[in-house]
Amino acid sequence: MPIESFPTALIVPGALGLFVFALLYAGVVLPTIWSRHPDRRKAAHRTLGMLLKARRGLWRIGR
């Protein structure tokens, strides 16, 4: 299916969502796993926990 057949209203939000996901993944998830500094790992882990809790709260609101 060629990309021209998709409406722009679907492509732009999808690309924006993918971009935000990539930023969060690179900025939060990867330091949680790969950082050699325990303080950075703990901070990234706390941040990841807060983001997941917020996502769960939004999931309940969206139902």
Domain ranges in the chain?
8-62
Q: Show the beta-strand stretches assigned E in the chain.
A: none
- 48 and 32 Cβ atoms separated by less than 8 Å: yes
Say if residue 8's pLDDT is above 60.
yes
Say which residues have a Cβ less than 8 Å from residue 11's Cβ, sequence separation at least 6. Answer: 3
Q: What is the pLDDT of residue 4?
A: 62
Condensed to tens digits (0 to 9), the pLDDT of residues 11-62 reads 677 778 888 888 888 888 788 778 888 898 888 888 888 888 887 776 666 5
pTM score above 0.75: no
Q: Which tokens sit at 58?
A: 């939004």
Tell me which DSSP letter residue 36 carries: S
